[in-house]
Amino acid sequence: GEDVEQSLFLSVREGDSSVINCTYTDSSSTYLYWYKQEPGAGLQLLTYIFSNMDMKQDQRLTVLLNKKDKHLSLRIADTQTGDSAIYFCAESMGGGSYIPTFGRGTSLIVHP
């Protein structure tokens, strides 16, 4: 069945780059997403990439997709303390239901 894997924790120093990694198993995934969850809040869609793309950049965020290895990464440049949150990777096949499969989330801790 479908599976999305992420490491549980990442700790970085403020100002450094953060790279959060994700692997997925469903080769028919069409959409790949990154969500951010701040403490006590719901999930917020950060960015997404279509499976026919290799890279997408949006200000400090860079998403890289290696479709052959089924590997997705989110790079946050110049990481700030406000970036501390849980980051979820998700994939979906598209179609009428668009039900995503989520990873368990990576807790990013940014030290001053």
DSSP-derived letter for residue 3 is -
DSSP-derived letter for residue 82 is G
98 binds other proteins (CB under 8 A): yes
100 binds other proteins (CB under 8 A): yes
**Beta strands, E only, 14-112:** 18-24, 31-37, 43-50, 55-58, 61-66, 71-76, 85-92, 101-102, 106-111
Min separation Cβ 51 and other proteins, Å: 12
45 to 74, contacts with other proteins by CB under 8 A?
45, 48
Interacting residues toward other proteins by CB under 8 A: 8, 31, 33, 35, 40-45, 48, 88, 90, 92, 94, 96-100, 102-105
